[in-house]
Chains A and B, each alone.
Chain A
Amino acid sequence: GQQLNQSPQSMFIQEGEDVSMNCTSSSIFNTWLWYKQDPGEGPVLLIALYKAGELTSNGRLTAQFGITRKDSFLNISASIPSDVGIYFCAGMNTGFQKLVFGTGTRLLVSP
């Protein structure tokens, strides 16, 4: 089935560093969501984006909805050890109400 491509696939950074990851699609979405999944847990919603060009922050997290509606990025500033996990983007089109998930970015943070 359809899947969104995320890059990088994994990242290993030092605590305090900033992180950037992105998500691209061959088709248009009118909603982009970013989730974080901890081991043994379901994904938890971090940020939702509803408008092309929208830039939204949630604490140390910032995400943008690409102008073309085919991409999105997520930035994490001043990373901390609890940022460790897998980050997934997800796209959705209103009316279909189905999420298409990205391939995931695994983040490791060294104290």
Chain B
Amino acid sequence: SAVISQKPSRDICQRGTSLTIQCQVDSQVTMMFWYRQQPGQSLTLIATANQGSEATYESGFVIDKFPISRPNLTFSTLTVSNMSPEDSSIYLCSVEGLLNYGYTFGSGTRLTVV
């Protein structure tokens, strides 16, 4: 399966600022996915990022708050904009596994907004 490197692994940010999270994959993938995991909760899909087109956002998530870039087939970024304490979560990127064998996740970015 693909190996995903996510940066930063954690950060503490001031409210009102923005943080950009990077996701690097060791192989070319068509689709990359960004998830949010709020404290003690399950994973919720934020958006799907395809190379060469705008990301597709799930209900409750908007591009102004979570802009996504997908400049090539191995890299994507998620920005959490104008942060508030409610944005404190783990943010994870994911890609489809080889031969449709499930999906692989990065180790996540633990964000705390103060």
Contacts and interface: CB of A to CB of B under 8 A. Distances in A.
A48 to B, nearest CB: 5
Given A42-B108, A44-B105, A48-B102, A97 B96 contact: yes
B44 A1 contact: yes
Interface string A78-111: 0000000000101000000111011110000000
A102 B42 contact: yes
A33 B45 contact: no
B31 interface: yes
Contacts of B31: 97
Given A1-B58, A3-B42, A102-B42, A45 B108 contact: no
Interface in A33-57: 33, 35, 40-45, 48, 50
A33 B87 CA distance: 27
Nearest to B101: A48
B24 interface: no
Given A98-B33, A99-B45, A104-B42, A42 B60 contact: no
A44 B100 CA distance: 15
9 contacts: A1-B58, A1-B60, A42-B92, A42-B108, A43-B105, A45-B103, A88-B43, A101-B44, A102-B42
